[in-house]
């Protein structure tokens, strides 16, 4: 019965997600339509005494839709199809005590937590909800993806998810350099990091990340648009020199960065394992002969003027300015919204 339930649920839900009510209906349908297996005594013994049904004349047992008796691995297989927000505020935990216990107390469900805002979300996601999801992981959380994170939450995450391997932070303008540097030193096993549209993270913090996370293999840094300050004294490669300290990188995605050929050369020289490079909208990069030769070992590469059709954020118009205002001083961060399907 267990394998049938798993395959039945998987077939019904793949490739698109099913709502909690849909999954509840799926389980009810399965339990109420599947005939009992094995001898009559086995079928009877699998149903609690107070819920047993009378035998039909032909000796067949009418199966009971006893959701509480479902094996935990079958429940986990179904619940893994749901997002954390659906598990927390949906109806899965209201079906019965055993389901509620699994949703609340089974760390396996909370190893990968995606709290990003999606178009079809009907429930707001706040920091309290994100903290509760991390708590339910009981120290086993390996991936956290979210928006609007704060310094306080990062410290909390570092304390409750010491084995974190993937951290993706989007539109988190309340994260500062100081807060990130405190937290990042507590993630020595981190392999993937994304900092997209986080306007208060900049400069030398990337060098700190490189030293604190020696296993970091994938790094993504996205800006709302290309923004380049054109006066001579301004250092356009500060972040690039910091990224060059991430020597284990295999994949690097820089969108809208103001780095120049000098900065990219430093990255290529120090990140010798780099195989995937995306530098779209990095319009200070000019692919001359020397730079193309250095990039010849890169397996997949997207250049500054390549298509952005697969890019999931809205993109602002490129800006070149003689003003000393940094991109952090501009208002466009507040108007750039994430687009999820």
How far is it, in rounded angstroms, from Cα 277 to Cα 295?
Answer: 9
State the number of CA atoms in the 13 A half-sphere of 128 facing the CB: 2
Query: In this model, does residue 3 exceed pLDDT 70?
Result: no
Given this model, what pLDDT does residue 137 score?
85
Of 27-36, 194-203, 234-243, 270-279, the one with minimum mean pLDDT is: 27-36
Query: To the nearest whole percent, how much of the chain has pLDDT over 90?
Result: 50
Average pLDDT of the residues of the chain = 77
Average pLDDT over residues 108-115: 84
Of 105-109, 238-242, 279-283, the one with minimum mean pLDDT is: 105-109
Average pLDDT over residues 58-76: 55
**227-229 vs 112-115, strand pairing mode:** unpaired
Of 125-139, 207-221, 290-304, the one with minimum mean pLDDT is: 125-139
Given this model, what pLDDT does residue 232 score?
74
Average pLDDT over residues 239-247: 96
How far is it, in rounded angstroms, from Cα 341 to Cα 252?
Answer: 24
92 alpha-carbon distance from chain centroid: 22
What would the pLDDT profile of 289-308 be if each residue is shown by its tens digit? Answer: 999 999 999 999 999 999 99
Decide: 57 and 85 in contact? Cβ < 8 Å.
no
Query: In this model, does residue 229 exceed pLDDT 70?
Result: yes
Of 25-34, 316-325, 326-335, the one with minimum mean pLDDT is: 25-34
β-bridge mates for residue 145, sequence order: 114, 168
Q: Which residue has the tokens 């698109």?
A: 16
Given this model, what pLDDT does residue 158 score?
95
What would the pLDDT profile of 252-296 be if each residue is shown by its tens digit? Answer: 999 999 999 999 999 999 999 999 999 999 999 999 999 999 999
Given this model, what pLDDT does residue 41 score?
37
309-312 contacts at long range (C-beta below 8 A, 24 or more positions apart): 311/255, 311/280, 312/338, 312/339, 312/340
Average pLDDT over residues 29-49: 40
């Amino acid at each position: 019965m267990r394998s049938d339930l798993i395959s039945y649920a998987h077939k019904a839900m793949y490739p698109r997600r099913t709502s909690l009510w849909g999954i509840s209906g799926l389980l009810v349908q399965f339990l109420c339509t599947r005939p009992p297996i094995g001898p009559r005594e086995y079928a009877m013994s699998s149903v609690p005494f107070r819920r047993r049904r009378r035998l039909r004349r032909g000796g067949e047992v009418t199966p009971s839709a006893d959701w509480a008796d479902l094996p935990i691995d079958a429940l986990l297989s179904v619940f893994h199809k749901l997002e954390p927000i659906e598990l927390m505020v949906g109806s899965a935990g209201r079906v019965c005590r055993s389901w509620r216990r699994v949703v609340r107390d089974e760390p396996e469900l909370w190893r990968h937590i995606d709290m990003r805002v999606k178009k079809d979300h009907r429930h707001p996601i706040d920091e309290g909800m994100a903290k509760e999801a991390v708590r339910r992981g009981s120290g086993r959380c390996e991936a956290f993806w979210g928006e609007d994170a704060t310094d306080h939450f990062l410290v909390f995450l570092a304390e409750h998810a010491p084995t974190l391997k993937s951290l993706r932070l989007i539109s988190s303008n309340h994260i500062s350099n100081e807060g990130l540097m405190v937290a990042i030193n507590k993630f020595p096993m981190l392999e993937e990091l994304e900092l997209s549209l986080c306007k208060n993270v900049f400069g030398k913090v990337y060098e700190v990340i490189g030293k604190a996370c020696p296993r970091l293999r994938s790094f993504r840094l996205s800006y709302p648009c290309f923004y380049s300050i054109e006066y001579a004294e301004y250092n356009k490669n500060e972040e690039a020199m910091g990224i060059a300290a991430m020597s284990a990188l295999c994949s690097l995605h820089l969108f809208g960065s103001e780095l120049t050929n000098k900065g990219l050369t430093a990255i290529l020289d120090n990140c010798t394992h780099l195989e995937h490079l995306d530098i779209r909208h990095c319009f200070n990069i000019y692919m001359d002969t020397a730079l193309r030769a250095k990039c010849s070992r890169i397996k997949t590469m997207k250049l500054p003027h390549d298509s952005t059709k697969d890019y999931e954020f809205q993109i602002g118009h490129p800006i070149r300015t003689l003003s000393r205002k940094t991109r952090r001083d501009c208002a466009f961060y507040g108007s750039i919204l994430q687009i999820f399907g």
